[in-house]
Structure 1
Amino acid sequence: MSGSKGGNDPVILATAGYDHTIRFWQAHTGICYRTVQHPDSQVNALEITPDKQMIAAAGYQHIRMYDLNSDNPNPVVNYDGIQKNVTSVGFHEEGKWMFTGGEDNTVRIWDLRTRSLQCQRIFQANAPVNCVCLHPNQGEIFVGDQNGKIHIWDLKKDSSEHLTPEKDTSIQSISIDPMGTMMSAINNKGTCYIWTLSGGRGTDPVKVHLKKTFEAHSKYGIKCLFSPDSTLLATTSADQTCKIWRTADHTLMTELKENTQRWVWDCAFSGDSQYIITASSDNMARLWSVETGDVKKEYSGHQKAVVCLAFRDEFVQ
């Protein structure tokens, strides 16, 4: 996590949730330097564009895009016409398109290179969508729904298959490591699954092999996320913790616990995998040392639960 604040490559940390604001923080000092109002609804998910020019906020029946390099308080792009909550948002690695998932049972792809604000492609999941994850090959989208299915949508062939790790559960979060060799999912019971991934090059589809199932948390699971160096997996839960697991042997390395946190909703690693930031129901975000479990910084200012964050501390080439 470098301390530089130069040019258009600052460290960007944004948090949002139920108080209808998006807050931008100096990650190293804990100072909030910008607050954007999001009056229409709570914010369910945040994602920074690959070029670090804008941030997308997913809310109830819409996505709002805000400029990161100005103080403009208003969204610069609005995507509307969606039913129910948008729960997930992300981008193609070159910023060509955005993908979203939501409680209207769909995953949508939005072309960012055209002026059209209509979505170009829709995938029907037949159940509310909790999470959407793009494979590093940029050609397959993994979708977790409330019926416990993980759908694999092949964008080139426009076909899909699915797997059901456990019936009568809800897939809350999916993560694929940057190398594209592992996938993790966590369900509402706190059960975590790890698969090895193979294939996925050219027209070869990704093949999924279940490697490990374990109880990451005894309560509701919310988020799972691989570290940038692929050596760690973070899981968060309603049990007031974020846990850091080693991917080599799936053993617990660190438990990040603060008794006031209540639900830990979201997390993001630093680019060097040494630190992690969490968002929680006590209106706070926190920066932790992955190795020691110590809180290095607290980000205080939200009036209600912080349920999502976006963090980027690497330089854009």
Structure 2
Amino acid sequence: MNRFWEALSGICSRTIQHPESQVNRLCITPDKKFLAAAGRHHVRLYDIKSSNPNVIMNFEGHTNNITGVAFHCEGKWMVTSSEDCTVRVWDTRSGQIQRSYTHDHPVNDVVIHPNQGELVSADRGGVIMIWDLGDNKCTHQLIPEDDVSISSVSIASDGSLLAAGNNKGDVYMWRMFQSQETTTLSPCRVFNAHKTYLTRLLLSPDIKLLATCSADHTVRIWRIDMNEENLELVPELPKQAGSEPIAQYPGGPASPADSTDSVDDGPSFQARQGRSRSSSNLTSSSHPSRPSTSASNAPLDTFKPVNAVIANRHPLPLETILESHQRWVWDCAFSADSAYLVTVCSDHYARLWEVASATIIRQYNGHHRGAVCVALNDYSSQT
């Protein structure tokens, strides 16, 4: 079930039933008109401002739980990740699949680069893939630690940082540099944020904070200083004498089913300068339980930093800890000004926090099961 909350009053203004499956992720379209609810096998689109409970559009094609969903900045296409080991790009006008990329393991998360021309996805095998939509191929493979599931990825609003968190509670960060030809990544930080599972990780819109959610019942807020010299602490793993080059094939040539060309009138996948997207409608969902490659035969830039940097762990400065959760914290969302954070937890509550004071501004109760995902739209008084 999806619930819509008024931020200031804490009143639940609307509910939408989602009886066929649990809801794993929520995402609001950039024009603030529709809510995408990702469940098992499908994504359903609902009209936010209408009282009509019916589905506006249904995206079907995945064969297992959908774990991530995000929209192009103008809403022309949508990307999803799934436990069926695929990442798919959908035309939001026709509901048809435009691209399909394959991992070797179930995919836990996917995000869109602000340039709108690249995707970043992460899987349970510990692999992060960067996909170039224009060239329709994977260009980078990042492996922070072999066989340690990457649970979440986040990209800075200006495309300058990539952050990832894994099931050991570790956070990895890369600087991202982009030219007209290529994206270059430089490892810059690795540290242990939590002693157990990290469930979600999110860079704030102003790129000054990093929020990490965990099974340890806390959300930790870390401070980022992009001008800080010691943000650049982690060297890339040097090639060893006599070893194979670090670029390698992650999975060999793709089969035709792994990559689908766009239709003639489909979306254009060209990199462009991304636009900042604020949020304002808060929607949370609950469900009874939560589950604990490549499209080109071109060589990839593959980075395995963990062996080189394990002795150089240096955490970001800890800004604050949000500690009133009673169970696992599954998801979070920053306000557009980065001053507030909404969290959802297995204790059935969604909470609105003032980050600076680490205080709860409002607590939303009414879920009959654990709340596991949230979307925030803060341009209006409704959340």
TM-score, normalised with respect to structure 1: 0.90
CA contact (8 A) 1:154 1:205 kept: no
Letter in 1 for 2:207: S
Q: CA deviation at 1:168?
A: 1.9
Q: CA deviation at 1:259?
A: 4.7
Q: Which residue of 2 aligns with 1:302?
A: 367
Q: CA deviation at 1:277?
A: 0.3
CA contact (8 A) 2:90 2:96 kept: yes
Higher strand proportion: 1
- 1:150 equivalent to 2:128? Answer yes
- 1:165 equivalent to 2:133? Answer no
Spell out the pairing of 1:1-317 with structure 2 (5 A cutoff): 21-113=1-93, 115=94, 117-160=95-138, 161-199=140-178, 201-202=179-180, 204-248=181-225, 250-260=316-326, 262-314=327-379
Letter in 1 for 2:4: F
CA contact (8 A) 2:73 2:116 kept: yes
Separation in 2 of the partners of 1:205 and 1:105? Answer: 26
Q: CA deviation at 1:314?
A: 3.2
Q: Deviations over 1:105-155 (max 9, x none)?
A: 000000113x3x321110111210000011100011000000000000011
Separation in 2 of the partners of 1:259 and 1:57? Answer: 24
- The number of equivalent residue pairs is 290
Q: Unaligned regions of 5+ residues in structure 1, if any?
A: 1-20
> Kindly, what percent of the aligned residue pairs are identical?
49
Letter in 2 for 1:302: H
Separation in 2 of the partners of 1:74 and 1:86? Answer: 20
Separation in 2 of the partners of 1:256 and 1:292? Answer: 10
Letter in 2 for 1:254: T
Q: CA deviation at 1:45?
A: 0.2
Q: Deviations over 1:274-297 (max 9, x none)?
A: 110001000110001111111110
Letter in 2 for 1:87: T
Q: CA deviation at 1:167?
A: 1.1
Q: Deviations over 1:59-94 (max 9, x none)?
A: 011111000110011111111232010000010001
Separation in 2 of the partners of 1:197 and 1:259? Answer: 34
Separation in 2 of the partners of 1:214 and 1:310? Answer: 27
CA contact (8 A) 1:270 1:313 kept: yes
Letter in 1 for 2:221: I
Q: Deviations over 1:173-193 (max 9, x none)?
A: 000110110111000110001
SS in 2 for 1:62: strand
Separation in 1 of the partners of 2:87 and 2:379? Answer: 28
SS in 2 for 1:79: strand
Letter in 2 for 1:63: V
Q: Which residue of 2 aligns with 1:9?
A: none
Separation in 2 of the partners of 1:206 and 1:223? Answer: 25
Distance verdict in 2 for CA 1:259–1:286, change over 3 Å? closer
Letter in 2 for 1:141: L
SS in 2 for 1:55: strand
Rg comparison, structure with higher value: 2
SS in 2 for 1:165: coil
Q: Which residue of 2 aligns with 1:4?
A: none
SS in 2 for 1:303: coil
CA contact (8 A) 1:62 1:82 kept: yes
Separation in 2 of the partners of 1:82 and 1:168? Answer: 24
Q: CA deviation at 1:205?
A: 2.0
Q: Which residue of 2 aligns with 1:7?
A: none
Letter in 1 for 2:333: A
Runs of 4+ in 1 over 6 A off after TM superposition: none
Q: CA deviation at 1:269?
A: 0.5
SS in 2 for 1:224: strand
Q: Which residue of 2 aligns with 1:17?
A: none
Higher RCO structure (Cα 8 Å, ≥6 apart): 2
Q: Which residue of 1 aligns with 2:241?
A: none
Q: Deviations over 1:240-289 (max 9, x none)?
A: 000000012611001001152x1100000011111100010001100011
SS in 2 for 1:80: strand
Separation in 2 of the partners of 1:259 and 1:132? Answer: 26
SS in 1 for 2:187: strand
